[in-house]
Amino acid sequence: MSTGSLASEPDVPAAPPHPGALVSRTVEIPDPGPLLCLLPPGAVQAWVRRGEGLVGVGECLRIDLPSAGSVRAAARAWSELARHAVVRDEVRLPGTGPVAFLSLPFSPGSAAGGVLVVPQTIVGHRGGRWWVTSTTQGDELPSPAAPRAGEVPDGPGTVRYSDGARSGPQWMSAVAEAVSRITAGELDKVVLARDLDALTEQPVDLRWVLARLGEGYPSCWTFTVDGLVGATPELLVRSERGLVTSRVLAGTIRRTGDDEHDLALAASLARSSKDLEEHEYAVRSVADALARHCAGMNLPEAPFVLHLPNVMHLATDVTGVLPRPEAGTPGPSVLDLVETLHPSAAVCGTPTALAADLIDELEGMDRDRYAGPVGWVDAHGDGEVGIALRSARLDVENPCRIRLFAGCGIVAGSDPEAELAESDAKLVPMRDALG
């Protein structure tokens, strides 16, 4: 996929836009306040980290995508929209002009499908600059107006939890079976996920959940797209003016709350042969995939320990540089990179095809959009796409029901009881956010 040229002169061309074309205007604005406080009730989208990012209000355009080939379908649909877009962009940063938020399923066999959403209004913040983008489908240039901070949303009240597809003991049995298959040499690693059902006293207001996730996990990417909400520590890929970055996480240990003890645990994590093995599989899968697109890459020799409020992870930031595109031929977009990268070993396993088959056999559930790509893409093909971890999906028919997810990487040295405890730790962010 590549995006075509954009009409971005100071004034809209006299000729009418292509039928159904996006018409977009971006202007700089004063600091409107925290992004996550600007969202009104209704259809909202968000991608925010440390106060910077994008929030969207309303739906100018929505494209529902099939699960099979969802990344390629998203790339083609967005390429066509971007090619015909009429844009007046007075800020010219990644994330200005028309932007689509995306949420795609983990598996091509999922019943969930994927989605591209172009909000009517987007407010962005980056490096001390704020902007608002308005987008319509019509023949007139819109007049951007930033939303104002609204009332604090109400919480969902009492929350009751119940097992999803597998109880704890059943899931541990699945982990034991996976370890047996790995030990027998059938594959190197598989990621097994579990779900948890939550019923709330009042309908879930995703703005409440976002605010609590953003406050509790500022170093994660807090997101919501089409009812999927979460705070992911894992960036599948960022593409920005030729520079590509991917943050790989694999290898986890739960924090105790005692700083001195946690430092000792971090040191043990950094030396753990089991966790280092799991991490190496994940990093190698990302590096091999990005190498197909990049002219040069930087791969650190050893991971660092990422400290989050509830857990610590082994982490590696893989970076690369895209080749300079030939004249008139745009280079790969962030969606092209997503198609190459997903699913990575961090959320599927190694080898990918064998791990995916074992997931289908042992998990006993549809992951929906959990562990799928989530993020945004702009009309130049730049964007940020994370992996939908530490997340939940709101039931479209019952706003008092929300489904939580967590997963763990299983290798030869995995212990089922320890993996269950790790999955419980990974459910903490969403459980805390629900209150």
Q: Which three-class secondary structure state does DSSP give residue 432? A: helix
* Separation CA 151–CA 139 (nearest Å): 35
Cross-strand bridge partners of residue 416 = none
- CB-facing half-sphere around the CA of 258: CA atoms within 13 A: 5
Q: E strands within 30-185?
A: 44-49, 52-57, 61-65, 86-89, 99-103, 114-118, 121-126, 129-137, 159-163
Both tokens assigned to 201: 């006293």
* Separation CA 201–CA 224 (nearest Å): 21
274: left (phi > 0), else alpha (psi -120 to 50), else beta? alpha
Phi and psi at 420, nearest 5°, equal -65, -40
How much is the CA Rg of the chain, to the nearest whole Å? 21
Neighbours of 137 (CB within 10 A): 14
DSSP state of 8: -
Q: Single out the catalytic residue among 140, 201, 234, 260.
A: 234
| Crossing angle of the two packed helices 416-434 and 168-183, in degrees rounded to 10 | 140
Beta-carbon contacts of residue 420 (< 8 Å; ≥ 6 apart)? 168, 171, 172, 175
Active site residue 52: no
Active site residue 177: no
**DSSP string covering 269-292:** HHH-HHHHHHHHHHHHHHHHHHHT
Neighbours of 177 (CB within 10 A): 16
Q: Single out the catalytic residue among 186, 189, 280, 326.
A: 189
Neighbours of 143 (CB within 10 A): 8
**Residues annotated catalytic, as ranges:** 189, 234
